[in-house]
Amino acid sequence: MSENHERLHKVLARAGFGSRRTMEEWIRVGRVSINGKIATIGESVTEADKIRVDGHVVQKDRLFQKKIRLIGYHKPVGEICTRNDPEGRRTVFESLPKLRSGRWVAVGRLDLNTSGLILFTTDGELANQLMHPSREIEREYAVRVMGDVDEAMIQRLKKGVELEDGFASFYRIEKAGEGEGRNHWYHVILREGRNREVRRLWESQGVQVSRLTRVRYGTIILPRNVRLGKIWDIDPVEAKSLADLAGIRNFKIESMDIPRKRSKRPSGKSVWKKSHRK
C-alpha cells in the first residue's frame, strides 16, 4: 500500500464530494474525521488512514483511485441534470453506466430544453477544474434564434451586455445558415458556464432561442455518429488534451468499454463548423 501523503481536501475533492474550497469548509466545520479524530485544515492523509464524512466511512478505492473514467453523453431535450427529481422527470444520470465504486460527476449542466454534449468523470478535481471560471474553457453551441438579427446586435453580443447576474458576452459568433421564416442558425462560443447564459444573451436583444445544442466542451466534440441518449468513451489522447486545459497531470483513463463507431474527424476541432478551432 502506498504511503504517499496527500492533502485531505484534495483527496475529498478528487473523490467527487465537491470543490477543494468546499472541502476545506467541511473540514473547518467538523464534518470530516481521520482515524476517529476530527480533521483540521491542512492535514495530509495516506491510504492507511480511515476517513469519515458526516460519520460515514469513505471507501479507499473512491479516495485513492489510480485511474479515472471520462465519458461523453448526448443529452436529449427533456432530461434534467440532477440526480433526483421530485417531479419524476428523467435525469441524465439514469443513462450512465453503473460504477462499482465512486460516482459520476457532471462537467457542467444543460437545461431541460437544451440538448448536446455533457461530459461525466469519476474524478471530482478534474470536473471542478474544467468548470472553474478562471480556466476560461470554451463551450461551443449550435443555436437557432427566431427574430431579426443585424450586425449591430452581433457586435453588442460580442462586446458584452449586462445580465441580472453580471456582465456577459459571446467570445465568438458565426452565422451557420438560414432556417425557415425568421429563424437563423449561429454557432456561439462561451468561456464560462452560467445558468441559461446562451438563451439570456440572445433574449437581451429581443430574439428567442428556439433550439440549442452544445457541440463542444474544450477539446471534446460531440461526434455526429453518437445518437441522442447515447454515451461513449472519451479517447485517452482526447482526455489528456482536455485535462491539460484544466491543469490536471499524472492520471490514467480507465475505459468503460462502451462500443461505438469511430469518427473519421480529428479531435480538438469543431466537427460542426471548421472555423471553430481553438
Distances (CA, A) of 137 to 181, 207, 274: 34, 26, 19
Number of domains the chain is built from: 2
Domain end residue (candidates: 17, 35, 63): 63
Residues in the chain: 278
- Contact, 72 vs 226, CB < 8 A? yes
Active site residues: 111
Are residues 179 and 126 part of one domain? yes
Q: For every one of its 278 residues, what pLDDT tens digit does the chain have, with 9 covering 90 and above?
A: 446 788 999 889 878 788 889 999 999 999 999 999 999 999 999 989 999 999 999 988 778 755 788 999 999 999 999 988 899 999 999 999 998 777 899 998 999 999 999 999 988 888 999 999 999 999 999 999 998 899 999 999 999 999 999 999 999 999 987 766 678 999 999 999 899 999 999 999 999 999 999 999 999 999 999 999 999 999 888 998 999 998 887 677 777 777 554 444 434 455 344 433 33
Distance CA 24, CA 234 (A): 31
Give me the CATH number covering residue 215. 3.30.2350.10
Are residues 122 and 185 part of one domain? yes
Are residues 161 and 78 part of one domain? yes
Domain that holds residue 142: 67-278
Domain end residue (candidates: 33, 63, 93): 63
Is residue 1 in a domain? Answer: no
SS3 214: strand
Of 100, 2, 102, residue with least CA distance to 49: 2
Backbone angles phi, psi at 97, to 5 degrees: -65, 150
CA 222 to chain centre: 13
Give me the CATH number covering residue 42. 3.10.290.10
Are residues 208 and 176 part of one domain? yes
